[in-house]
Structure 1
């Protein structure tokens, strides 16, 4: 893939762009195998490959420039906007939406926030697309000043983007290096974006986490589901469950009378997961908002199978030590940072990696996912 932004030195986020994709994948596989080498021989399944373009289901667009000449992309080191509207990584629905959003900024006279001057209102626009082309658009503002102007243009925006499902305002009042804040104001009747993943429809609310690459997320869930189907546990926990991807897929292959529990700190994600449970009429599956470690340490009985899908920092020492002492025979660890994975494994010496797979969620970057099946020795 050639990128004129990369060639011009304007954006180097795709640090491996000049490396052939097959070589990128070989390098990631080698990195993962090297990191897990101290745990002895284990079976490596073939890596899961991604499309090398048009795979990102979300765009985090920093707004720069002026209301009449906005940039949608990133900021340079001086805090000036770099327009990346032609980025080839986005799904087609997002690529079609970006020029419309630039027009909206001009129509509604939405003043971009200046990092240097600490003035202005519109900080970021966050766009998520489903494979069907439906869109969720979130405007990250410094205050509520522009909400009226945005509401005035909603009809026009729907005309330009007929597949627009959810529009919201997120408030990030502080001058901090964050993408979004905690307060969300939904401006549309619809509140969730349906995401089709394998044969399940997952519902994404504005502040729910969902994997960046839908096809690769589907492959991750299928792998976890395959391992659960072979084990046929009576009880399973999915910690850091997000909108319930692993838990819902596991519930499909577990026997009658089995129970599944999903725990996620984001209340928005839990509401999304609960909607899927109701929609499919699923029994024996419970989702609750809370801290994964606090939940685990507060339970009397551990599950037969544990799934963990933590953020980049990993599960941490406290939860890892609890898992080590819990007696759980089987753990499925889905990791977006193999270095934190091996750090956690060092605290769970009784659990041995037996099967692993590299899943390429982020082509052209050094990042990748690793899913590992652990069995108690």
Structure 2
């Protein structure tokens, strides 16, 4: 894939841009195998390749420039807006939204936030597309000042982009390098974006996490459920469950499945998906994964973990070591923290692993490992 923004050094976020894709995928496989080289019993499955372009279902775009001439993209070293509204890794559905959103910013006179001057209101646009082409739009503002104006002009935007089903304002008053704030104001009657994955409807709320590559998310959940169904455990915990992707895919009348996630919004979404699918013996609870495990009276036969980049940490590793858990399915977006966690689990043997290229054109990837108690 070639990118004019990368070639002109306007955006260098995709550090592997221009490199042959087969070479990228082979490099990620080698990187992961090297980090986990101490696990001699590991069987490596073929890596799961992604589309090279148009694969991102989510765009986190900085708004710069002026209300009359806004930029949608990133900021340069001086804090000036760099327009990236033709970014090739974004899905076609996202690309179709950018020019309409730029016109909306101008028509509604939404003043972009000026980082060097610490003035203005509109900081970011966070846009997510479902596999069915529906859109969730979140506008990150410095304050509530522009909310009435956004409400006034919203019907015009929805008429121009009927695929937009969920719109919210996120309030982020602080001047710091954080994408969003804690408070969300919903502007539409619909509050969740339906994410159709492997014949299951997952529900994404404005502040919930979902994988940025829908095809690879589907492959990730298929691989996890394949391993779980092969082992046929009677009980499963999905820790860091998000909106319930792994838990819902592993649901079966023969087993108890429990999903744990700190985000209450995500748990509401997971319960909605479970109810719609008519699943039995599936439970979702809001809470800290480690605290839940440590306080539990009984351990499950299998645990799925899908932690953030920092990994699961010493305390949860220690609990797994001392527990009766027979198998762990570990899905990681950071092979370095994965390697560190596996070193803290000497009672388990890594049996299988698979790299899934969630983030083409970058150094990042997802890797899944199946662990078995020795």
State the TM-score, normalizing by the size of structure 1. Answer: 0.98
Q: What is the match of residue 120 of structure 1?
A: 120
Q: What is the match of residue 236 of structure 1?
A: 236
Deviations 1:177-211 (A, max 9, x none): 11111100000000000001011010000001000
Matched, 1:317 2:314: yes
Q: What is the match of residue 51 of structure 2?
A: 51
Q: What is the match of residue 152 of structure 1?
A: 152
Structure 1 position 273, deviation (Å): 0.4
Q: What is the match of residue 96 of structure 2?
A: 96
Structure 1 position 106, deviation (Å): 0.1
Q: How many residues are paired up? A: 374
Structure 1 residue ranges (4+ consecutive) displaced by more than 6 angstroms after TM superposition: none
Q: Map of 1:105-254 to 2, 5 A cutoff?
A: 105-251=105-251, 254=252
Alignment CA distance shift 1:269-1:275 (3 Å):
same
Q: What is the match of residue 85 of structure 1?
A: 85
Q: Map of 1:275-314 to 2, 5 A cutoff?
A: 275-314=272-311
**What is the rounded CA distance, in whole Å, between the counterparts of 1:192 and 1:223 in structure 2?**
26
CA contact (8 A) 1:293 1:318 kept: yes
**What is the rounded CA distance, in whole Å, between the counterparts of 1:277 and 1:376 in structure 2?**
30
CA contact (8 A) 2:139 2:170 kept: yes
CA contact (8 A) 1:216 1:359 kept: yes
**What is the rounded CA distance, in whole Å, between the counterparts of 1:141 and 1:271 in structure 2?**
25
Deviations 1:274-333 (A, max 9, x none): 110111111111111111111110101111000000000000111111111112110000
**What is the rounded CA distance, in whole Å, between the counterparts of 2:41 and 2:275 in structure 1?**
43
Q: What is the match of residue 263 of structure 1?
A: 260
Q: What is the match of residue 368 of structure 1?
A: 365
Matched, 1:344 2:341: yes
CA contact (8 A) 1:15 1:365 kept: yes
For residue 39 of structure 1, give the secondary structure of its aligned residue in structure 2: coil
RMSD value over aligned CA atoms?
0.7
Deviations 1:52-85 (A, max 9, x none): 0010000001001111011000011111110000
Q: What is the match of residue 327 of structure 1?
A: 324
For residue 6 of structure 1, give the secondary structure of its aligned residue in structure 2: helix
Deviations 1:227-283 (A, max 9, x none): 1111111110000000000000000xx343x21000011111111101101111111
**What is the rounded CA distance, in whole Å, between the counterparts of 1:200 and 1:281 in structure 2?**
11
**What is the rounded CA distance, in whole Å, between the counterparts of 2:80 and 2:100 in structure 1?**
22
For residue 48 of structure 2, give the secondary structure of its aligned residue in structure 1: coil
Deviations 1:87-143 (A, max 9, x none): 011111110001010000000000101111111100000000012110000000010
**What is the rounded CA distance, in whole Å, between the counterparts of 1:374 and 1:131 in structure 2?**
31
CA contact (8 A) 1:234 1:255 kept: no
**What is the rounded CA distance, in whole Å, between the counterparts of 1:363 and 1:179 in structure 2?**
22
For residue 226 of structure 1, give the secondary structure of its aligned residue in structure 2: helix
Matched, 1:359 2:351: no
CA contact (8 A) 1:130 1:195 kept: yes
Q: What is the match of residue 65 of structure 2?
A: 65
**What is the rounded CA distance, in whole Å, between the counterparts of 2:113 and 2:41 in structure 1?**
53
**What is the rounded CA distance, in whole Å, between the counterparts of 1:129 and 1:231 in structure 2?**
34
Task: List runs of 5+ in structure 2 lacking aligned partners.
Answer: none
CA contact (8 A) 1:45 1:355 kept: yes
